[in-house]
Structure 1
């Protein structure tokens, strides 16, 4: 049995999941402590406390009988649980958090605790280059191993991203920003994938999803995995890793490390920035000016850099 049980999920976790999934998540949030208790008892773990992070899951930390700390993660969406754990199995030993145990009936998994504490250790410098190397390493594993059963980038683009861009572009009051959005939308039909670059994508490379181990090496956590052109991940990292800051430098690093030509990364940058801009417009996010500036820069020659 566990040494202790956890109470209700932290208020921050509750708020983020309700914002993300809506009121339908209420019942799951109420059941989450019992899900974590059951997983901990099954794997003979002692629960220690919650780690208040993430937008699609509840996270706690625990210890094995020999005192080794681990992360317990419970997903609201069983499908997202299956996709993420499938990708983590494929990436085992790579620059991620290793999967230790998984309970399909609970949508709960035990993961390696990176850096000795929830949230990981501190970066030791050269962050941009080290994260780029980790992305490249992740993509190399995705090309050399049997690919997991996760959605394709083509499906995501055609069935998720494009429809929501069109809907928001038509329904939002864009005012003076309409010409920017229309110009960006005009390039969407020309997005192309290169089959020679097909790999398993992380597809959620925000800074909060990159943590560091005790040696200062980056680990890419909380993937939303897809199978498709590596250019998508490099574009996502370029646009969103540190919104508005060092975009030019990340783009140059992405092109250099991946050896993907800039003209094949930047169309994905434009599409991702447009998608984010319209979403931030819809929810009136305070980051609207930042993403608008990034999108505008990709509609000019501002970010043409030398490799």
Structure 2
């Protein structure tokens, strides 16, 4: 008997995965509906509809036999699937979307649907403080026991981030942004990690990856996990959670909650901001002026104002 599928993946999802992975993802996108259907049959779930979101996976809404709504997620990259599930298992019981089922052979998992609906619920007041507390809680869980086998921040910084910054600086016409970029790049060799802060990092703390449950509490989803100094997550959250507002407030909250001094967070903020500025320049992203303002503000911070 043929397993019932939801049909072709949504056009938006297909476009994002092809943009992200290239034409090699086309065959997998044709197979993805059948992977989701096979997982649903295995776990006795009813598929409801696609949820058109994300750049590395195909996502569907499903219902368990007891009526519990779930997210069914199929990853294009088996390695990314394994890394995300490893991180979620490490953070079990924390402010995340719990992994209910996982099929290694399919690279598909059934995950908790935060707030009972796609996109979650509304946050309580004091969003910045609550999200900071959730990040700190995640880092605490990530330090329990033996660290899992995940990519290291040191390798990611040394072999991915710094080389791509250098390559884009050489290749792109930066115009009036060149002095700003050059100043930010001067700090790259000085980035250091504190081994005492090593934990499992979320490493993708954009606002869309922080949902709020029915009680208005933050739950962190869609990690791109690394193992390394917690300072990286705090810098990422400071810069990218919202490019238009409250960057200074997030930096203050990050330092207060993590107890990492602001002068230790800001060099990582600058490195992440210049990396983003160069990427947005390359793809002509409309967010380019926003990240340029963030980087300019970070560079304008004197040592005295960092304290």
TM-score range, shorter chain: over 0.9
Q: 1:110 to 1:176 in 2, by over 3 A?
A: same
**CA distance in 2: counterparts of 1:62 and 1:207, whole angstroms:** 24
Aligned to 1:41: 41
Query: Hey, what's the Cα distance between the residues in 2 that align with 1:117 and 1:298?
Result: 37
What's 1:246 paired with? 246
TM-score in terms of structure 1 length: 0.97
Provide the residue aligned with 1:283 in structure 2: 283
Q: CA RMSD in A?
A: 1.7
Residue 6 (1) aligns with residue 15 (2):
no
User: How far apart, CA to CA, are the structure 2 residues paired with 1:31 and 1:250?
Assistant: 42
**CA drift at 1:131:** 0.3
- Whether contact under 8 Å (2:36, 2:74) holds in the other structure is yes
Superposed CA deviations along residues 219-268 of structure 1, whole A, max 9, x for unmatched, are 00000000000010000000000113110110011011110001100000
Could you say which residue in structure 2 is the equivalent of 1:274?
A: 274
Instruction: Count residues in correspondence.
Output: 307
Once superposed, which parts of structure 1, at least 4 consecutive aligned residues long, lie more than 3 Å away? 1-4, 302-307
Instruction: Name 1:176's counterpart in structure 2.
Output: 176
Give how far 1:3 is off. Answer: 9.4
SS at 1:144 equivalent: coil
CA distance in 2, matches of 1:220, 1:13: 21
Distance 1:305 1:85 in 2: 40
Retained in 2: the 8 A contact 1:40–1:46? yes
Once the 2 structures are TM-superposed, how far is the Cα of residue 124 of structure 1 from its aligned partner? Answer: 2.0
**TM-score under structure 2 length normalisation:** 0.97
The question of whether the paired residues in 1 share the 8 Å contact of 2:51 and 2:61 is answered with yes
> Which residue matches 1:99?
99
User: How far apart are residue 14 of structure 1 and its match?
Assistant: 1.2
The equivalent residue for 2:298 is 298
Give, in whole Å, the separation in 1 of the partners of 2:112 and 2:216: 16
Which residue matches 2:143? Answer: 143
1:4 is displaced (CA, Å) by: 5.0
Equivalent in the alignment of 1:79: 79
Matched residue SS, 1:111: strand
